[in-house]
Structure 1
């Protein structure tokens, strides 16, 4: 049985991805921010898929210490149930902010949760993913309308919420590109998913103001989260890892021209510095 870890699994796209994977016969480890939400989601999923193998852990992925603690729990679970193997990691947890907010480390919330949390969790679980594993990022078509704001990646000097969000989605694509560049030779494949406009609460949590108002109107035109969940199920369930870097409901699509080796390497180096880690090269992973 294939084991898949899904972040942001208590609602929206993440919840529906869990449901789709359980129905396909995968073992799912869901991650949620609070114990209450994790319990509620697990109970609901057990009701939807009674025979499904689902486990939930909770923690605040904006905090590196909690990401590492969750990784330890996941590894312990994998040793007990899957011989240490992880078939796929879905880095789906995300947020939108209306104003400038930072983590205790001083990192802007959208960059911290939408990118750095998944970057760090992938690093911690990399040994479990090599030789056939897949990493799937929840990106957005909006990444195509963005360049990296290298001179101020946190938008500290002049905060622009929408630009910070788009940049985080570009980071997702660059991270996927960088993982493929480094580890495709060891059987790892990474993807960015453009789910399209989806009816979720991402734009309503801790926002308010203009962002909350616009999202409340805009999401009415979106699809149910179960629709993009099909994309994840397709990428994870295929026996042979699908081609293409960016996928939407129609299949592989072209990513932004900004998604290339130069930007991916620069982002990798910056993210390693911010997380205080270093991804090993192929040689170190094989030793």
Structure 2
């Protein structure tokens, strides 16, 4: 994969860092898109120490703020000639109720809307670099979710796990609809369930659940193992665009996440919330 360029969001730790390191070992120039630049620079140093000849840089990206997303996209267009892989990996899980700078519920805003907007802004570079791929991180928790169109930002009521499940279902619906819209542009899109992974994303879980994860750690994947399906979708030829993948193979998502009408409706709502016109 020499000469390829990838962006991995949330790549300063966990699955994202392992994904970036593996891609760098394959000759990919990797941009670590992170909110915490101190941690991001440490991740860059780690990868460059562990991978001979790695081409890795860190760029500031705060998915809680559309202004930061715009600034990041502008930097990418000014510094990168191509983009072959956009890996929308960053996320928050089961956090206390809060909102982004633009007033979106935090999990819906970061896990889904922020990546929707980032993809929208970078699409021209992805088209220019075709064949290219977009990978959206989802979760098996999406089976518990639904898109609450009447209260998508949880302003009337908030349940941390339900909000997380909604955001991860949104990523699958986004993948389906985006794949349909870019199928003639040389861009493939995949949704990935990394499995149960021991990462910092679990920091907002209740103490009993954190104790459970530590006690039964043999059931939990390492971040490196959690990156395998993302990497599978990044490097394997002739995969079905728009699909949902788990354990390095096509998988079946929930019936609700497979509904094309819901996917189209969510697309329209997302464009409205972000104030963008995306054909």
TM-score, with length taken from structure 2: 0.92
Q: Counterparts in 2 of 1:96-135, with a 5 A limit?
A: 96-130=93-127, 131-135=130-134
Residue 248 in 1 paired to residue 246 in 2? yes
Residue 93 in 1 paired to residue 90 in 2? yes
Q: Within 1, Cα distance between the matches of 2:59 and 2:10?
A: 11
Judge conservation of contact 1:42–1:56 (CA < 8 Å) in 2: yes
Q: Within 2, Cα distance between the matches of 1:14 and 1:123?
A: 21
Q: Within 1, Cα distance between the matches of 2:207 and 2:23?
A: 31
**Residue-by-residue CA offset, 1:155-201 (whole Å, 9 max, x unaligned):** 22111000000000000001100111111121211111001100101
Aligned residues: 271
Residue 233 in 1 paired to residue 235 in 2? no
More moved, 243-252 vs 262-271: 243-252
Residue of structure 1 equivalent to 2:43: 41
**Residue-by-residue CA offset, 1:190-230 (whole Å, 9 max, x unaligned):** 111001100101021xx3xx635424532634110111212
Residue 21 in 1 paired to residue 23 in 2? yes
Residue of structure 2 equivalent to 1:223: 221
More moved, 61-70 vs 242-251: 242-251
Once the 2 structures are TM-superposed, how far is the Cα of residue 98 of structure 1 from its aligned partner?
Answer: 3.5
Residue of structure 1 equivalent to 2:183: 184
Residue of structure 2 equivalent to 1:141: 140
Q: Secondary structure at the match of 1:185?
A: coil
TM-score, with length taken from structure 1: 0.90
Q: Secondary structure at the match of 2:135?
A: strand
Once the 2 structures are TM-superposed, how far is the Cα of residue 242 of structure 1 from its aligned partner?
Answer: 4.6
Q: Within 1, Cα distance between the matches of 2:95 and 2:207?
A: 8
Q: Within 1, Cα distance between the matches of 2:241 and 2:36?
A: 36
Judge conservation of contact 2:85–2:234 (CA < 8 Å) in 1: yes
Q: Within 1, Cα distance between the matches of 2:206 and 2:267?
A: 29
Judge conservation of contact 2:8–2:20 (CA < 8 Å) in 1: yes
Q: Report the aligned-residue RMSD.
A: 1.6
Q: Within 1, Cα distance between the matches of 2:211 and 2:186?
A: 41
